[in-house]
């Protein structure tokens, strides 16, 4: 399905309900599988979280090999690899989409092999699908690289409390996406698990069970990023209220509130845990510079916002974007160039030049089976009509996205 977005102006004041963070949800779903006394509220309605739930709820019907297909869900692939490693079941083959089979898993596999788990590759060395023969793990020390994906580390941290002797992680190199690690550790602490993080070493103590409790997932800040972009590109005075967010969020993408001040967007945290975004002034600088090592998922949104405002940007810390649903740096360069942008990328940065020309009209934006490509480019309809190809891909993290856009005034034709 292609979505054709007409040039539009959004309503002056609207309210949007955004479901729980995919990142928090998937961590808590795994913890719930380990600790049945845990109950989770405001679960994300994303495809990724649905894939995670289905995989955890499925029961093997016989002693045959169990095949678990998580489609495009990268977080689920990493977290479930660790989870099934702790289960002494018949063999589990964990697989996914064609793109998922091109996304590396070797660092996590090798870490689990250090703990004595038997994992083999079904096709290509270092990539899914993988066959896991779970076991009771008694070893408690692992060394792994920290500069590739924080999801590998989080996967190990999440299973650590249920390991007989807990876990000590020794991390090599610069830690990527630190807020996501801190999110994992904060959720463990909330359940009463003892953790210690100092330098490049993390220790998690074993815990057999947790007290019965309900944990409510905060709404997804990554999903909020598209609303920040919409307000930044809107007329002065435009407002949108989003629920439900915390000022002391565990999510790294909460940095949006500060970053988007550069684009004239003010964030007010309301007493009912909603936030109100308001366009209060024009952009402050011709060129902005952001280090996004802790929040790489908002790089696409920021780059498109800058282009829509005629601004330039230099974005750094983006090395993990090359192993996402697509190579996001290459994809951004191709699609922004179609619209008339002057843009260059390296292995870990993006550089967009200032442009005073309006974006070209009715350009078809390829999404590369990447939900964030579709949603990042949609706000440009506030400047020119635009076509988003394979628009249904948004269901991976934000299934209500197109309906929410219609509810604030966007005109969208599906064909």
Q: Which of 164, 180, 206 is the last residue of a domain?
A: 206
- Show pLDDT as tens, one digit a residue, over the chain (415 residues): 999 999 999 999 999 999 999 999 999 999 999 999 999 999 999 999 999 999 998 754 545 688 999 998 889 999 999 999 999 876 999 999 999 999 999 999 999 999 999 999 999 999 999 999 999 999 999 999 988 888 999 999 999 999 999 999 999 998 888 889 999 999 999 999 999 999 999 999 999 999 999 999 999 999 999 999 999 999 999 999 999 899 999 899 999 999 999 999 999 999 999 999 999 998 789 999 999 988 999 999 999 999 999 999 999 999 888 777 779 999 999 999 999 999 999 999 999 999 989 999 999 999 999 999 999 999 999 999 999 999 999 999 999 999 999 999 999 999 8
Of 47, 48, 253, 297, the active-site residue reads 297
In this structure, the answer to whether residues 11 and 28 fall within a common structural domain is no
In this structure, the answer to whether residues 410 and 263 fall within a common structural domain is yes
The candidate with the shortest Cα–Cα distance to 242, out of 6, 28, 21, 93, is 21
Q: What is the pLDDT of residues 244-285, one digit of tens each?
A: 899 999 899 999 999 999 999 999 999 999 999 999 998 789
Tally of domains in the chain: 2
Residue 212 falls inside a structural domain: no
In this structure, the answer to whether residues 185 and 325 fall within a common structural domain is no
In this structure, the answer to whether residues 264 and 166 fall within a common structural domain is no
In this structure, the answer to whether residues 225 and 308 fall within a common structural domain is yes
**Distance spanning both ends of the chain, measured CA to CA:** 6
Parallel, antiparallel or unpaired: strands 92-95 and 130-133 = antiparallel
297 flagged as catalytic: yes
Residue 380 falls inside a structural domain: yes
Which residues are annotated binding-site positions for 3-phosphoshikimate?
22-23, 27, 149-151, 177, 297, 324
In this structure, the answer to whether residues 64 and 84 fall within a common structural domain is yes
Q: Is 28 exposed, middle or buried (0-12, 13-18, 19+ CB in 10 A)?
A: buried
- Tell me which residue range forms the domain holding 27: 22-206
Residue 239 falls inside a structural domain: yes
Residue 215 falls inside a structural domain: no
In this structure, the answer to whether residues 139 and 237 fall within a common structural domain is no
In this structure, the answer to whether residues 302 and 334 fall within a common structural domain is yes
In this structure, the answer to whether residues 162 and 226 fall within a common structural domain is no
The first and second tokens of residue 148, run together, are: 């590739």
CATH code, domain carrying 322: 3.65.10.10
In this structure, the answer to whether residues 333 and 184 fall within a common structural domain is no
Residue 214 falls inside a structural domain: no
In this structure, the answer to whether residues 361 and 306 fall within a common structural domain is yes
Q: How many CB atoms are located within 10 Å of the residue 339 CB? A: 23
Q: Which of 144, 179, 206 is the last residue of a domain?
A: 206
Q: Which of 206, 237, 272 is the last residue of a domain?
A: 206
In this structure, the answer to whether residues 298 and 392 fall within a common structural domain is yes
Q: What is the pLDDT of residues 28-69, one digit of tens each?
A: 999 999 999 999 999 999 999 999 999 998 754 545 688 999
Residue 199 falls inside a structural domain: yes
């Amino acid at each position: 399905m292609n979505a054709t977005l007409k040039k539009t102006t959004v309503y002056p004041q609207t309210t949007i309900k955004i479901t729980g963070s995919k990142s928090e949800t998937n961590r808590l779903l795994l913890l719930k599988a380990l600790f049945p006394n845990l109950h989770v509220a405001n679960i994300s309605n994303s495809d990724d979280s649905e894939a995670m739930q289905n995989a955890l709820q499925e029961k093997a019907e016989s002693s045959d090999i169990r095949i678990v297909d998580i489609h495009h869900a990268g977080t689920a692939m990493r977290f479930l690899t660790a989870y099934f490693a702790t289960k002494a079941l018949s063999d589990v083959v964990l697989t996914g989409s064609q793109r998922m089979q091109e996304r590396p898993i070797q660092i996590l596999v090798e870490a689990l092999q250090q703990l004595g788990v038997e994992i083999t590759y079904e096709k290509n060395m270092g990539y899914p699908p993988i066959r896991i023969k779970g076991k009771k793990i008694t070893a408690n020390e692992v060394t792994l690289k920290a500069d590739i994906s924080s999801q590998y580390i989080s996967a190990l941290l999440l299973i650590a409390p249920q390991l007989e002797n807990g876990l000590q992680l020794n991390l090599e190199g610069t830690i990527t996406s630190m807020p996501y690690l801190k999110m994992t550790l904060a959720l463990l602490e909330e359940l009463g698990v003892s953790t210690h993080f100092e330098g490049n070493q993390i220790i998690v103590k074993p815990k057999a069970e947790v007290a019965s409790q309900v944990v409510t997932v905060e709404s997804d800040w990554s999903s909020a990023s598209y609303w920040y972009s919409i307000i930044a590109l809107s007329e002065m005075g435009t407002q949108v209220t989003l629920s439900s967010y915390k000022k002391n969020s565990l999510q790294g993408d909460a940095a949006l509130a500060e970053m988007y001040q550069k684009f004239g967007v003010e964030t007010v945290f309301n007493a009912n845990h909603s936030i109100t975004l308001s366009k209060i002034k024009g952009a402050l600088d011709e060129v902005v510079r952001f280090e996004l090592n802790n929040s790489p998922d908002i790089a696409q949104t920021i780059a498109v916002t800058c282009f829509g405002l005629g601004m330039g940007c230099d974005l750094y810390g983006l090395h993990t974007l090359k192993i996402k649903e697509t190579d996001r740096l290459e994809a951004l360069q191709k699609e922004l160039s179609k619209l008339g942008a002057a843009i260059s990328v390296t292995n870990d940065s993006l550089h967009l030049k200032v442009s005073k020309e309006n974006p070209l009209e009715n350009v078809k934006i390829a999404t590369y089976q990447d939900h964030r490509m579709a949603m990042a480019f949609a706000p440009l309809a506030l400047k020119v009509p635009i076509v988003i190809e394979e628009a249904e891909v948004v269901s991976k993290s934000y299934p209500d996205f197109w309906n929410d856009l219609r509810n604030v005034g966007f005109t969208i034709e599906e064909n």
